[in-house]
Amino acid sequence: MDQSKINVRYAKAFFSLAKEKGLTEELHRDALLISSVCNSISDFMVLIESPVISNSGKVKAFKSIFEGKVNPYSLRFLVLIAENNREKFIPGIFRNLEDLYRKSQGIKTAILTTAKPMDQALVEQIRKSLETELGGKVELSQVIDKELIGGFVLRVDDSQYDASISAQLKKIKDKLLQTELK
């Protein structure tokens, strides 16, 4: 089965349980914690991906790491994933869970790329403008890309607005190359 299908199916099933039990906020916090462990602790990924460690060993490890730190439903979900030999999909499953949560809460993700770091007050003003424009909560992150020279690129979900100097220079170059000299 395709990895993305597995990730989506498990995430949807767990998210639907969270909604049914009224625990979306709590289970979302658990998902963030588990994703953080996956992304920041390389030994955890070695544990997940190791063919040498048995499923029961992985279950014991999950319990020792997360018991008391996450909701019992979240812990049981991790155990279920391991019992079904799907533990290598944990990072993807929890990424999909995050996407489902954001969608259910109407949260949009935006990335502001600039050549130099912007003043935090200006970034906050841009975020508020986006929230007004989009009619919902916006999580705005900033990325620095020195190749932009100046200006910015704003990406919201699947849309992109490029107001960078490098993009403007590229447009001018393309126009000049298309112009026929007489």
Confidence class for position 154, pLDDT limits 50, 70, 90: very high
Q: Are residues 66 and 138 in the same domain?
A: no
Tens-digit pLDDT profile for residues 98-147: 989 998 998 998 999 998 999 999 999 999 999 998 888 999 999 999 88
Q: Are residues 84 and 152 in the same domain?
A: no
Tens-digit pLDDT profile for residues 58-69: 999 999 999 999
CA-angle at 132, arms to 127 and 138, nearest 5°: 40
Q: Which of 104, 131, 161 is the last residue of a domain?
A: 104
Structural domain count, the chain: 2
Q: What pTM value is reported for the model?
A: 0.72
Q: Are residues 114 and 52 in the same domain?
A: no
Range of the domain at 133: 107-178
Q: Which of 49, 82, 104 is the last residue of a domain?
A: 104
Cβ burial, residue 167 (10 Å; 0-12/13-18/19+): middle
Q: Are residues 78 and 132 in the same domain?
A: no
Q: Are residues 137 and 100 in the same domain?
A: no
Q: Are residues 11 and 77 in the same domain?
A: yes
Q: Are residues 32 and 80 in the same domain?
A: yes
Q: Which of 104, 122, 152 is the last residue of a domain?
A: 104
Output the DSSP codes for 94-157. HHHHHHHHHHHHT-EEEEEEESSPPPHHHHHHHHHHHHHHHTS-EEEEEEE-GGG-SEEEEEET
Q: Which three-class secondary structure state does DSSP give residue 164? A: strand
Q: Are residues 43 and 114 in the same domain?
A: no
Q: Are residues 98 and 127 in the same domain?
A: no
**What is the CATH number for 125?**
3.40.30
Q: Are residues 118 and 162 in the same domain?
A: yes
Q: Are residues 166 and 97 in the same domain?
A: no
Looking at residue 1, what is its pLDDT?
45
